[in-house]
Amino acid sequence: MAKTQPYPALARASILAHLRGDPTPGPGRLAELSDDVSLWTVRKGCFVSIKNSDGSLRGCIGTFMPTQADLSQEIIANALSAATRDPRFPPMRLEELEEAHISVDVLNEPEALLPGMALDPKIYGVIVAKEGRRGLLLPDLEGVSKVPQQLAIAAQKAGIRDLEGAEIFRFTVVRYTEER
């Protein structure tokens, strides 16, 4: 369920400001992007994903529960981390941003998976937790079409070798993408 919203614009503006050495966007910039204050003041976790022009991943960092004062700050923090602190990639350079495509997934609260509850990789993201480790995989990712595959990837991200005794949570997201 993709929607065009100001969230990716805020992520892009934050990354651009950081790469130029400017301050991150403040309240005035938020008002320019949307005068609907409720968009910015809710507290939710979110993931910011950056893809190269060929569709390959360039960075993705997020929080499944809010860690900042509001969603605008959550987006800014995760956008900067996705661009400069994703351990899988070198920090983004200014010249890369022009061709990059940014999306923001706003997460709904995770729920523990109980017997009889369905998982569907197109609809639900998953969190696999065991022995203090936790791995998360967003829903509706290219190449992930089966539940066992989704759970295995989430477990692998956390260094969990065996799902026996693991807690599994599911969640939904609203994905906001740039129009480019």
Nearest residue to 60 (alpha-carbon basis) of 40, 43, 85, 97: 85
- 50-70 per-position pLDDT tens digit: 999 999 999 999 999 999 999
Long-range contact list for 162-165, CB < 8 A, 24+ apart?
Answer: 163/128, 163/130, 165/130
pTM (whole model) above 0.85: yes
- 118-172 per-position pLDDT tens digit: 999 999 999 999 999 999 999 999 999 999 999 999 999 999 999 999 999 999 9
Residue ranges and CATH numbers for the domains of the chain are 2-107 (3.30.700.20), 111-172 (3.30.1490.150)
Q: What is the pLDDT of residue 31?
A: 86
**Per-residue tokens: 141:** 């990712």
Q: What is the pLDDT of residue 180?
A: 64
